[in-house]
Amino acid sequence: MKFWQRAYISLLILFVLFFYASIYMVSSFNFRANLNSERGRSFGEAGFIAASLEREMTDILRDGGAIDDDGYSFFERYADFYLNRDIYLELWRNGEYMTGNLPGSPQVMHEISIGEQAASVVDYGKNRFMLVTSAFMVNTDSFTLIYAHDLQAFTDELDSLSSFLIITGVALAVLLALVLYFLLRHLSKPIEKLDEATRRISGGDYTMRVPVYGKDELATFAWSFNSMADEIEKKVDELQTTAEQKQRFIDNLAHELRTPLTTIRGYAEYLKNANINEDDRIASLDFIITESSQISVMANKLLDIALLRNGALDTTEISLPELFSIVESKLHPKLSQKGVQLEMMEEQGSVPGDRDLLESMLYNLLDNAVKASAEGAIVKMTCLLKDGHRIIEIQDFGKGMPDEHIANLTEPFYRVDKARSRAEGGAGLGLALCKQIAQLHNADLSFHSEVGKGTTVIVTFTTP
């Protein structure tokens, strides 16, 4: 059974129980209040009748007559008069029944003192009566008047009220059942949507979100759920991207190792099986040494990347003009060989970091710019201060690259032009190493490139 169904049944049962308990208490209170009112009225009326009878019987005796001479005709006048008002009278004398019109057998009198009254409620068949007993003295005789008021009208009114309340309760219960059903169904919709979203996310649909309505607890819960789903989707995307990158790394590493290993194996078999002269032997060994060096360089760069990911940085203040000058001197042979001119525009200043690592980063970035430039071209390296942050820009005016390559540039073994990189001995690890060095120095490494216009690499030191 669903939550809203349990809530629906529970609330409906509670309403019915409380409503009918309230009806019972109201009816009981109303009955007692009306009964007390009726008792008070009956006391007064019985006392009035008893006083009237006492005066009349006293007058009869004073005139020399006897009370029972005419068969208590004076009492019958009282009985006939009050019968029209559903009131019955009964008279006792010295403990003996004398006359009356009360239905059924004569009532047993309450033992009360002269001048006192007592009341009780008794049933005669299907009717209920309010009985009031009054005692008085006439001469030396004691008389007891039993006053009985038929409570049928009072009971009928109470039954009508009870029936009305019961019918009203049933009608309200039905109305409440309908209203409560639609209300709980409406209120449970967000929970059902959350449940559906949870099941879809657990099934792999991480784009599922729930609508947020209002500002109550359910809306806050829905907002929190959507935030959690955003984070889950983000983490899943990150894990998927990481898995793809790792797979691509393994594939590229296998590809990069296959070529030099195939070359080494080929020349080794050639040296073993072929009858060659000394020059061919030396040439073959040179190829083996070159390819072995290529593998060694690749292994060293991969080791550098691993060490940078796990190592701590020992920083010092490094002068940027001095750093630029050192990098230029190391790159001078390549610049001269290709006829590329390096223009440097640096401001006086410094950055905190590791000198060797920053030299390696700038050297790799400039080396890539030189490789991408035509002979006799210009490469610019600029340092500026913007919003309190040091920014280094390296710009070439080579052939550039499409935007779809930029996101993958810093992945290990990724090359935009694989043929050119292989010819120049690159394995696609330089920019991956540069990214690790930048991150270690709290710097952002970004690229901007246009096909046919060149590429700009921007290193932004986020720590002032």
CATH of the domain at 36: 3.30.450.20
Q: Which residue has the tokens 């030191």?
A: 461
Same domain (yes/no): 294, 412: no
Q: Identify the pLDDT of residue 452.
A: 86
- Neighbour count for residue 433 (Cβ, 10 Å): 20
pLDDT by residue (tens digit) across 119-157? 888 877 677 888 899 999 988 888 889 898 888 777 777
CATH number at residue 228: 1.10.287.130
Same domain (yes/no): 15, 96: yes
Question: Residue 167 domain-assigned?
Answer: no
CA distance 290 to 284: 10
Same domain (yes/no): 21, 145: yes
Same domain (yes/no): 283, 419: no
Residue 111: pLDDT above 80? no
Same domain (yes/no): 402, 284: no
In terms of pTM, does the model score above 0.75?
A: no
Same domain (yes/no): 342, 307: no
Could you tell me the residue range of the domain that residue 14 belongs to? 3-162
pLDDT by residue (tens digit) across 401-442? 888 888 778 777 676 665 544 445 455 677 877 888 888 888
Q: Identify the pLDDT of residue 422.
A: 47
CATH number at residue 453: 3.30.565.10
Question: Residue 445 domain-assigned?
Answer: yes
Question: Residue 168 domain-assigned?
Answer: no
Question: Residue 354 domain-assigned?
Answer: yes
The domain tally of the chain equals 3
Same domain (yes/no): 139, 272: no
Q: How confident is the model at residue 251 (pLDDT cuts 50, 70, 90)?
A: low
Question: Residue 190 domain-assigned?
Answer: no
Give mean pLDDT, residues 217-241: 79
Question: Residue 249 domain-assigned?
Answer: yes
Residue 336: pLDDT above 80? yes
Question: Residue 142 domain-assigned?
Answer: yes
Same domain (yes/no): 49, 140: yes
pLDDT by residue (tens digit) across 10-51? 877 887 788 778 777 877 787 788 888 888 888 899 999 999
Same domain (yes/no): 296, 260: yes
Q: Identify the pLDDT of residue 56.
A: 86
Q: Identify the pLDDT of residue 3.
A: 67
Residue ending a domain, choose from 128, 144, 162: 162
Closest by CA to 285, choosing from 265, 267, 258, 262, is 267
Same domain (yes/no): 50, 127: yes
Residue type, 427: A
Question: Residue 11 domain-assigned?
Answer: yes
Same domain (yes/no): 325, 341: yes
Same domain (yes/no): 403, 306: no
Residue ending a domain, choose from 105, 139, 162: 162
Q: How confident is the model at residue 393 (pLDDT cuts 50, 70, 90)?
A: very high
